Amino acid sequence: MSSNRSSISNDFNGSQICKDCRDGLNSIIDNMPFFIRVIVFSTLIFFIINLFTPYPAFYLVDIPYFTIFHLQIWRLFTTPFITTGLISIVFSLLFWYRHAKQIEQEKGTIKYMLNFFMNTFFIQLMYCVLMLIITLIIQNTIMLKMKITMRGVRNQGLWPILMCDLTLFCLSNPEANMRFFFFPCNIKAKYYPLVLFGIFTLLSNFNIDFEILCGIAFGFIYHYYLRYKIEISNAFSLKVENSFLCKWMKNKKGFISINSTGSADIPVNLETITNTSSTPQNFSAFKGKGVAVGTSDTNTTRENVNYANLTSRSQEEITSNESRLELNNNTQV
């Protein structure tokens, strides 16, 4: 009897744990912004496919030999979707999700998507140029094909764009002290990405990952030289958001409009501009001659005389009121 009770309680505990895990996972998915959800699910799907066949990874990863000599330009945009290592995909998604969610909520879905693909393009372009230069120096094409291995295609996926975002985040306050993981030491924010890259290099037996290095380098270049030259504006993002190609996204769950972020460009409306000054401004009657279109000279002269009398009378009333105020103040003193 006791054994039956224990088995029932174990089954209950197991089902409750599974239910809690399922509810927690559903809550995370529901709170994901739209573009992050697209990246996460695409990365996981391609990772599962790559376990059975390497062909999708082979045609989507940025392999400089095919990108440069076969002009397969789409590789510059699709390479973040391919992560081939289990440990790499787990940690990259965990670290990238935290930064990406905050950025998409601040900038909006469309603006973050445009920034994501723009940064990816330049990072992968830098990677191709760097590999081409090294190949010309060592006179060996192995650097142009270094992602192709005997086991398939090896790719870092989101790590380059993650390191680029981390670099931009650190450079936003470069002199701040940042805690380096669990180590009892602080590092200046501007040195944090480089120290992190050095740790990664040590852990990989001094194998330099040039793709991640290009991500960090582009973060520095963008912050110091390109930020005001190629920055995507809110106005352009709003146009793309309202375009025919992206209009269908606005009804999707988790989509964040540029208007809802509070950072959209506010057009200047002259009708809303009012004079907030509470001090009466001195004015004098117009003593010149005006010309009226479509009226006789007699009516024009009569209107000018009435306007002059009205304004001069207003001026006398203001002057007398000011004199009374001064007299009252002197009397009280």
Task: Identify the pLDDT of residue 260.
Answer: 83
Same domain, 99 and 244: yes
Contact 91, 162 (CB under 8 A): no
Task: Identify the pLDDT of residue 183.
Answer: 72
Q: Does pLDDT of 278 surpass 80? A: no
Same domain, 119 and 37: yes
Same domain, 244 and 324: no
Contact 118, 56 (CB under 8 A): no
Parallel/antiparallel/unpaired status of strands 177-179 and 152-153: unpaired
- Indicate the number of domains in the chain: 2
Task: Identify the pLDDT of residue 332.
Answer: 47
Selected residue with higher pLDDT from 15 and 329:
15
Using 50, 70 and 90 to split pLDDT, how confident is the model at 310? very low
DSSP state string for 142-204: GGTTTTEETTEE--BTTHHHHHHHHHHHHHTSTTSEEE-TTSS-EEEGGGHHHHHHHHHHHHT
Same domain, 58 and 118: yes
Same domain, 160 and 231: yes
Contact 222, 96 (CB under 8 A): no
Task: Identify the pLDDT of residue 19.
Answer: 66
Using 50, 70 and 90 to split pLDDT, how confident is the model at 10? low
3-state secondary structure of 307: helix
The answer for residues whose C-beta is within 8 angstroms of residue 49's C-beta and 6 or more apart is 56
| Residue 277 in domain | no
Task: Identify the pLDDT of residue 182.
Answer: 67
Same domain, 105 and 242: yes
Q: Does pLDDT of 189 surpass 80? A: yes
Task: Identify the pLDDT of residue 269.
Answer: 38
Selected residue with higher pLDDT from 288 and 14:
14
Q: Does pLDDT of 212 surpass 50? A: yes
**Phi and psi, residue 259, nearest 5°:** -70, -30
| Residue 262 in domain | no
3-state secondary structure of 242: coil
Same domain, 231 and 332: no
| Residue 71 in domain | yes
Same domain, 233 and 302: no
Using 50, 70 and 90 to split pLDDT, how confident is the model at 317? low
Q: Does pLDDT of 66 surpass 50? A: yes
Using 50, 70 and 90 to split pLDDT, how confident is the model at 309? low
Task: Identify the pLDDT of residue 333.
Answer: 42
| Residue 279 in domain | no
Using 50, 70 and 90 to split pLDDT, how confident is the model at 267? very low
Same domain, 61 and 130: yes
Count other C-beta atoms under 10 Å from residue 294's C-beta: 4
Over the stretch 67-115, which tens digit does the pLDDT of each residue have?
A: 999 999 999 999 999 988 888 898 889 889 888 998 999 999 999 999 9
DSSP state string for 89-100: HHHHHHHHHHHH
Could you give the C-alpha distances from 256 to 28, 29, 35, 108, 168, in angstroms and in order?
A: 16, 15, 9, 5, 22
| Residue 82 in domain | yes
Q: Does pLDDT of 324 surpass 90? A: no
Using 50, 70 and 90 to split pLDDT, how confident is the model at 186? confident
Task: Identify the pLDDT of residue 14.
Answer: 62
Same domain, 235 and 311: no
Please choose, from the candidates 260, 268, 269, 270, the residue with its C-alpha nearest in 3D space to the C-alpha of residue 237. Answer: 260
Parallel/antiparallel/unpaired status of strands 177-179 and 148-149: unpaired
| Residue 124 in domain | yes
Over the stretch 146-162, which tens digit does the pLDDT of each residue have?
A: 888 877 788 889 999 99
Using 50, 70 and 90 to split pLDDT, how confident is the model at 246? confident
| Residue 221 in domain | no
Same domain, 57 and 159: yes
Please choose, from the candidates 94, 91, 81, the residue with its C-alpha nearest in 3D space to the C-alpha of residue 45. Answer: 81
Give start and end residues of each alpha helix (H) in the chain.
Answer: 2-30, 34-50, 55-60, 64-69, 75-78, 86-107, 109-138, 159-171, 192-203, 210-221, 234-241, 297-332
| Residue 95 in domain | yes
Q: Does pLDDT of 25 surpass 70? A: no
Task: Identify the pLDDT of residue 84.
Answer: 84
Selected residue with higher pLDDT from 188 and 287:
188
Domain holding 311, by residue range, is 294-333
Q: Does pLDDT of 280 surpass 50? A: no
Same domain, 161 and 300: no
Task: Identify the pLDDT of residue 320.
Answer: 56
Global confidence as pTM: 0.72
